[in-house]
């Protein structure tokens, strides 16, 4: 799995999901926001990391008793121990939160190992405990039953669907208070650069709007006068 450069990661950590969504829309990518997935707690630092995937299928009772957790090769446990530092464990739970995708012990283990966050389109048990960790976490809603009652771990680091978005291993997940965007890995560097410029312009626009300026010609930028003012504004930031 290709790793993000330190420079690109730092750039993406300054960018919102809204800005990424607009940037990707300009590139023809319209379905990159994971649906019905939200942070367990607002106000945490922006989550950025490469996707390391875990896929569940519907559980079958004869293959998924509680004793399967004794197997050191159980794929859920293996995923927790092998998810790389700086990556995001993203779980395809088939949008089914009736049973938990994971709980606080596994989330804590990921945090201690230096993983960047965890995302599921299902639910977490021990959700209040996970919310209080220094660890970004996103799910559909809380869920108490063990994952074994409905989910069977079947594959690690394969392409998955999570919240109606196709996610390939190594794709970049960016999460904030609004949710999670998925950036195709091959364009992550250019998206980071373009989004930083978009973010800078939005700061300029916000300053202008707060001072009473109309948005026509300003947002989007269609007035040459505003473009020149923006260039002057950027130069002043460097001084």
Q: What is the pLDDT of residues 141-165, one digit of tens each?
A: 999 999 999 999 999 999 999 999 9
DSSP 215: S
User: For residue 200, what pLDDT is reported?
Assistant: 95
Give yes or no for a contact between 184 and 174, defined as CB atoms under 8 angstroms apart. no
Is pTM, for the whole model, over 0.85? Answer: yes
The confidence score (pLDDT) of residue 239 equals 66
**Which helix (H) or strand (E) covers residue 107, if one does?**
helix 104-112
CA proximity to 149, closest of 27, 58, 230? 58
Of the candidates 66, 79, 86, 64, which has an alpha carbon nearest to the alpha carbon of residue 13?
Answer: 86
Q: Can you list the residues of the chain whose pLDDT is less than 70?
A: 1-2, 239
pLDDT at 238: 75
Query: Which string of b and e fits 178-196 if b means at least 16 CB within 10 Å?
Result: ebbbbbbbeebbebbebbb
């Amino acid at each position: 799995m290709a790793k993000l450069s330190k420079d690109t990661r730092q750039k993406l950590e300054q960018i919102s999901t809204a800005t990424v969504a607009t940037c990707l829309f300009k590139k023809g990518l319209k379905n990159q926001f994971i649906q019905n997935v939200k942070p367990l707690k607002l106000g945490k630092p922006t989550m950025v990391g490469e996707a390391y995937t875990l896929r569940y299928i519907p559980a079958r009772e004869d293959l998924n008793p509680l004793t399967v957790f004794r197997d050191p090769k159980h794929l859920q446990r293996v995923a927790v121990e092998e998810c790389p530092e700086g990556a995001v464990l993203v779980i395809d739970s088939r949008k089914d939160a009736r049973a938990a995708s994971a709980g606080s012990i596994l989330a804590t283990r990921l945090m201690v190992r230096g993983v960047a966050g965890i995302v599921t389109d299902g639910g977490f048990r021990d959700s209040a405990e996970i919310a209080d960790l220094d660890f970004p976490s996103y799910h559909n809603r809380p869920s108490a039953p063990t994952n074994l009652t409905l989910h069977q771990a079947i594959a690690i680091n394969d392409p998955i669907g999570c919240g109606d978005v196709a996610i390939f291993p190594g794709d970049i997940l960016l999460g904030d208070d609004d949710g999670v965007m998925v950036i195709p890995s091959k364009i992550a560097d250019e998206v980071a650069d373009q989004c930083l410029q978009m973010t800078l312009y939005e700061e300029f626009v916000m300053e202008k709007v707060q001072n009473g300026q109309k948005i026509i010609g300003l947002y989007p930028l269609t007035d040459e006068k505003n473009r020149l003012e923006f260039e002057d504004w950027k130069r002043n930031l460097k001084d």
